[in-house]
Amino acid sequence: MTTPTMTTPTMTTRTRTTVSPRPAHRLGAGLLGLGLALALAGCAGGTSTSDPAAVDRASGAPGASSGPPDEAAALSITDPWIKAADTGMTAAFGTVVNDSDVEVRIVSATTTASPRAELHEMATNDAGEMVMRPKEGGFTVAANGSHELAPGGDHVMIMGITTAVRPGDEVSVTLTAQDGSELTFTAPARTFEGGNETYEGDATSTPGAPGATPTPAAS
């Protein structure tokens, strides 16, 4: 018998599948004052595509970087997962980590499970109810910080599932930063009964509604 050993288990696992810069917006660093920018850029009903130029102007960034888009290169995701669902809606979660010294804004998402993915938040509507709705301006990941995507909070909303997401399946999700660079990761599907928030404007649209519960077996 060996004597007890002292160690600390790894606390988290980080995933970083691919980062593929996409020449969309040639915006580099300098996203200071983004909070203000978001407030200014707010366009009602917008999903996740507030005008990046407005942000840049508001931030006062003196001349954006001229290199290829690489904001997402500093991003990784910890403990990603997606709620299993055969049809309808679901959502992806995880903690996005930013290892750079500049804030990174995620402005859109895509997934292999459906052509429709949006960046959503939970918020209180005018009636005082908690509802989920597209998040104006997307998700901001602070410099050397992280942004949690979790049931009941910000999440990647996936609508109109075209490929059933069965428990244990692995679904590819891509987050796109404001400069067009991307973080792609694999989200393992898990059975999850929660996350049945009301979708703003449509009380029946709940990702965890009985009809969306994955059916047994069949692989």
Partner 1 sequence: MTGSGPDRRTFLQGGAAVLGGAALALGGRAAWDASTSTGPAVDPARDATAVDATAVDATAAGSAVVPFTGDRQAGVGTPPPAFVSLVAFDLVAGVDRGALVRLMRIWTDDLGRLTAGRPGLGDTEPELAGVPASLTATVGFGPGVFTACDLEAARPPWLAPLPALAVDRLQDTWSGGDLVVQICADDELTVAHTMRVLARQARTFTTVRWVQRGFRRSAGTTAPGTTMRNLMGQVDGTRNLVPGTDDALIWHEAGADTPAWLVGGTSMVVRRIAMDLDTWDALDRSGREIAVGRRLSDGAPLTGTAEHDEPDLDAVNDLGFTVIDTVAHIRRARSDNPDERFLRRGYNFDDPPAPPALSNSGLLFVTFQRDVTAQFVPIARRLDELDLMNTWTTPIGSAVFAVPGGCQEGEYLGQRLLG
Residue 129's contacts (CB-CB under 8 Å, 6 or more residues apart) are 198
Tokens of 112: 């292999």
CB of 172 to partner 1, least distance (A): 16
Question: Does position 155 bind partner 1 by CB under 8 A?
Answer: no
Of residues 44, 45, 127, 217, which one binds partner 1 by CB under 8 A? 217
Residues 197/209, Cβ–Cβ less than 8 Å = no
For partner 1, what does the binding mask look like between residues 74 and 93, x meaning CB under 8 A? -----x-x-xx--------x
Identify residues 91-110 at the interface with partner 1 (CB under 8 A): 93
* Radius of gyration of the CA atoms of the chain, in A: 18
CB of 167 to partner 1, least distance (A): 6
Residues 141/103, Cβ–Cβ less than 8 Å = yes
Of residues 6, 63, 124, 210, which one binds partner 1 by CB under 8 A? 6
Q: By CB under 8 A, which span of 5-13, 51-59, 111-119, 178-186 interacts with partner 1?
A: 5-13
Question: Hey, is 118 helix, strand or coil?
Answer: strand
Question: Does position 166 bind partner 1 by CB under 8 A?
Answer: yes
Of residues 66, 124, 204, 215, which one binds partner 1 by CB under 8 A? 215
Of residues 4, 63, 128, 210, which one binds partner 1 by CB under 8 A? 4
Identify residues 182-201 at the interface with partner 1 (CB under 8 A): 188, 190-194
Question: Does position 168 bind partner 1 by CB under 8 A?
Answer: yes
Q: What are phi and psi of 145, to 5 degrees?
A: -125, -165
Residues 102/64, Cβ–Cβ less than 8 Å = no
Number of residues binding to partner 1, judged by CB under 8 A: 34
Neighbours of 176 (CB within 10 A): 26
Q: What are phi and psi of 130, to 5 degrees?
A: -80, 125
Amino acid at the residue 54: A
Nearest to 75 by CA among 97, 54, 53, 95: 97
- Interface ranges with partner 1 (CB under 8 A): 1-2, 4-12, 79, 81, 83-84, 93, 151, 166-169, 188, 190-194, 213-219
